């Protein structure tokens, strides 16, 4: 009964590695909404287009799948930051900078470390446009009551901080304020504070920029 071939899954017989990636994507969508405890492996399997027992062939248990999902999340995040840092001298980015208008006090924002950091902030906002991105982050933080989750999140968070510091050349308090703004954008995105996905409006309404 019911010939399956569900959802996004091109159905049959792919390499385990590809399958893992596919399942991770499905897992992220489900975990982002229902969290570690609230997500059923059945729902993940259905979304990935495979049977539920097969998940336990790819990962030993649900928590390990959650950990892998969080890990992949940070991976994707780091990749975006690196790519942004590489293309940081593009004219396009300079234009976007001025559109958002983030330099009220005497920082040298259109060049140097501040500019790089600002470009990264902008890239982060674009990343938050996917609705599961901020939710998944919240779920990761919320799941920090579990020791293993907390260890992973702390490690990746520290890696992220040093990565941003190295890529931008910014340190200390200014760096912390960057992450602080990011966290505020997170909760704003969860709340759908900007009905539109336009990052410029986010900056205006949420961060209170002029």
Partner DNA sequence: GATGTTATTGAGTAATCAGTCACATGAGGA
Partner DNA sequence: TCCTCATGTGACTGATTACTCAATAACATC
Residue 64 vs 205, nearer CB to DNA: 64
For the chain, give the number of residues.
Answer: 210
Q: For its own copies, which residue of 1, 92, 173, 195 counts as binding (CB under 8 A)? A: 173
Question: What gap in Å lies between CA 180 and CA 183, rounded to an integer?
Answer: 5
In 39-131, where does DSSP find H-type helix?
41-48, 52-58, 62-86, 91-100, 113-127
Residue 71 vs 174, nearer CB to its own copies: 174
We find the least distance from the C-beta atom of residue 11 to its own copies, in angstroms, to be 28
Please tell me whether residue 53 binds its own copies under the rule CB under 8 A.
no
Catalog residues that contact DNA under the rule CB under 7 A.
2, 4, 11-16, 19, 39-43, 49-54, 56-57, 60-63
Residue 24 vs 206, nearer CB to its own copies: 206
Please tell me whether residue 168 binds its own copies under the rule CB under 8 A.
no
Q: Site map for its own copies, 100-119, x if CB under 8 A? A: ----x---------------
In 166-199, which positions are buried (b, 16+ CB within 10 angstroms) versus exposed (e)?
Answer: ebbebeeeebeebeebbeebbebbeeeebeeeeb
Return the sign of the alpha-carbon dihedral for residues 36, 33, 28, 162. Answer: negative
In 87-209, where does DSSP find H-type helix?
91-100, 113-127, 132-142, 147-168, 172-190, 199-205
Residue 17 vs 106, nearer CB to its own copies: 106
SS3 state of residue 103: coil
- 19-38 residues near its own copies, rule: CB under 8 A: 32-38
Are residues 143 and 149 in contact, defined by beta-carbon separation less than 8 angstroms? Answer: yes
- Residues forming contacts to its own copies in the complex (CB under 8 A) are 32-39, 104, 131, 135, 138-139, 141-142, 144-145, 150, 153-154, 157, 172-177, 179-181, 183-184, 186-187, 190-193, 206-210
């Amino acid at each position: 009964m019911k010939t399956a071939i569900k959802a996004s899954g091109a159905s049959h017989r792919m390499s385990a590695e590809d399958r893992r990636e596919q399942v991770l994507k499905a897992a992220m969508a489900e975990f982002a909404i229902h969290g570690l405890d609230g997500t059923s492996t059945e729902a993940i399997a259905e979304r990935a287009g495979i049977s539920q027992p097969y998940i336990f062939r790819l990962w030993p248990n649900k928590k390990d799948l959650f950990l892998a999902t969080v890990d992949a999340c940070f991976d994707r995040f780091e990749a975006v930051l690196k790519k942004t840092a590489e293309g940081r001298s593009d004219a396009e980015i300079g234009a976007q900078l001025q559109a958002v208008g983030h330099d009220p006090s005497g920082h040298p924002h259109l060049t140097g470390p501040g500019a790089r950091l600002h470009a990264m902030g902008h890239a982060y906002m674009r990343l938050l446009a996917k609705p599961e991105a901020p939710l998944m982050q919240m779920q990761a933080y919320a799941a920090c009551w579990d020791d293993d989750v907390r260890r992973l999140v702390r490690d990746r968070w520290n890696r992220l901080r040093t990565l941003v510091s190295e890529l931008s050349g910014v340190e200390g308090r200014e760096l912390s304020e960057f992450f602080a703004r990011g966290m505020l954008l997170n909760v704003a995105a969860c709340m759908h504070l900007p009905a539109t996905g336009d990052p410029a409006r986010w900056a205006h309404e949420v961060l209170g920029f002029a």
